[in-house]
């Protein structure tokens, strides 16, 4: 056990140094393939597949000894366009790119879990999915739509984790219902008439129109959303104008919607469109609203599978388990869970001074082995359950 622990620590540090952006995880893919092939050497019950339509993805299938089901386990492999500021000896070697969301931890835990089952052949079939493009480009949706999960690679149920710096290292966190919010990108273009600042009557000011749009949008969550359910609308970018004495004839907003259910997201979408239509009428301008959700649906855990997962973790004396609140962060595993029943859960990495996506994030690697032990224990227990 000590040998694999040191091997995985070395793997984690290697992966941390080679972060790559969505759909460009070529070095990461090659590194993972090399380690997977080492682990699986001489095992006649394993098959490795690289889908042609998603070439940085990897699927590893383990044939069960007496399969009742096929269980999927997913890990994401991409990184963020964030310059690293940790000062670590094994910091990113790719300027401006960092594993600031902990996908290096995700991959390491997945490899450790795979290693365990390669040395303890599972009774059920297992499919490990090393997924590109979680942070952008919705890799889970791409994989599903490209029919990556077909035939023997079709899971009956799917599991995956996300690291959490606010939980102590090695802690498993989960909840019934929604774990992560769904997200929708919002782009709004306003088109009016540019003019001289001294003659506003001959222009149609889109800074004013866009500002009123923003003000009215604030009432959607406060007055059109059930406060118990909640939602978020944030506009983080507002571009308009060229110089102080010219009335702007155009404006552009970029923002995001977050909701804990797909129904809530669609409700907010409808209210945004109604506000946009109202501003267009009130200001005699053109307002073009574009909404793009892609694969970032709410991560809604399957009731039965999640109850089983929580029950196992709660009653295992070797697991530090916490029931957690829903988070407004997004995750494209929600798309896969909308197609295949399953559960997503947290793994604590004990860095409470930093948030996910921080350039200073330093996961506590003491989380790796407890995470692997909890997952392998749960999966073995799941395999004993008759359908």
* Known catalytic membership, residue 78: no
> Within 10 A of 386 (CB to CB), how many other CB atoms are there?
4
Is the separation of the CB atoms in 22 and 135 below 8 Å? yes
Is the separation of the CB atoms in 56 and 111 below 8 Å? no
CA angle 372, 298, 315 (to 5 degrees): 35
**CA distances in angstroms from 91 to 94, 107, 257, listed in the order given:** 9, 17, 33
Q: Which residues 6+ apart lie within 8 Å of 5 measured at CB?
A: 368, 369
Residue 204 three-state SS: strand
Parallel, antiparallel or unpaired: strands 231-240 and 250-259:
antiparallel
Pick the catalytic residue: 135, 331, 332, 351? 135
* Known catalytic membership, residue 185: no
Pick the catalytic residue: 35, 76, 134, 157? 76
**CA distances in angstroms from 197 to 200, 204, 205, 245, 247, listed in the order given:** 6, 11, 10, 5, 5
Beta strands (DSSP E) in the chain are 46-49, 58-62, 70-76, 125-131, 157-164, 172-174, 178-180, 182-191, 195-196, 231-240, 246-247, 250-259, 286-292, 299-300, 321-323, 342-348
Alpha-carbon span 271 to 276, nearest angstrom: 9
Closest CA to 178 of 338, 371, 339, 357: 338
Alpha-carbon span 161 to 367, nearest angstrom: 12
Active site residues: 76, 135
């Amino acid at each position: 056990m000590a040998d694999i622990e040191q091997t995985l620590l070395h793997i984690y540090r290697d992966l941390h140094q080679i972060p790559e952006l969505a759909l460009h995880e070529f070095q990461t893919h090659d590194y993972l393939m090399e380690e997977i092939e080492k682990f699986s050497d001489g095992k006649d019950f394993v098959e490795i597949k690289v889908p042609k339509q998603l070439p940085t993805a990897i699927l590893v299938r383990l044939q069960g000894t007496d399969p009742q089901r096929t269980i999927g386990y997913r890990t994401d492999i991409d990184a963020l366009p964030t310059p690293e500021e940790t000062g670590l000896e094994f910091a990113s070697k790719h300027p401006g790119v960092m594993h600031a969301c902990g996908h290096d931890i995700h991959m390491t835990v997945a490899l450790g879990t795979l290693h365990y089952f390669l040395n303890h052949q599972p009774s059920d079939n297992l499919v490990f999915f090393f997924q590109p493009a979680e942070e952008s480009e919705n890799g889970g949706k791409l994989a599903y739509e490209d029919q990556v999960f077909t035939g023997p690679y079709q899971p009956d149920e799917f599991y995956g984790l996300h690291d959490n710096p606010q939980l102590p290292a090695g802690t498993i966190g989960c909840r019934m219902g929604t774990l992560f919010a769904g997200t929708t990108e919002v782009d709004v273009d306003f088109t009016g008439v540019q003019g001289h600042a001294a003659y506003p009557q001959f222009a149609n000011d889109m800074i004013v129109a866009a500002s009123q749009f923003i003000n009215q949008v604030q009432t959607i969550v406060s007055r059109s959303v059930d406060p118990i359910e909640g939602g978020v609308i944030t506009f983080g970018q507002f571009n308009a104008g060229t110089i102080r004495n010219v009335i702007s004839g155009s404006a552009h907003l970029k923002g995001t919607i977050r909701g804990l259910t797909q129904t809530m997201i669609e409700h907010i979408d409808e209210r945004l469109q109604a506000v946009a239509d109202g501003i267009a009428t009130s200001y005699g301008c053109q307002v073009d609203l574009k909404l793009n959700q892609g694969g970032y649906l709410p991560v809604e855990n399957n009731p039965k599978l999640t109850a089983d997962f929580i029950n196992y973790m709660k009653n295992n004396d070797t697991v530090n388990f916490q029931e957690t609140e829903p988070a407004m962060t997004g995750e494209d595993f929600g798309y896969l869970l909308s197609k295949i029943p399953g559960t997503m859960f947290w793994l604590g990495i004990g860095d409470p001074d930093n948030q996910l996506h921080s350039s200073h994030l330093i996961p506590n690697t003491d989380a790796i082995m407890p995470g692997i032990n909890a997952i392998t224990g749960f999966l073995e227990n799941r395999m004993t359950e008759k359908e």
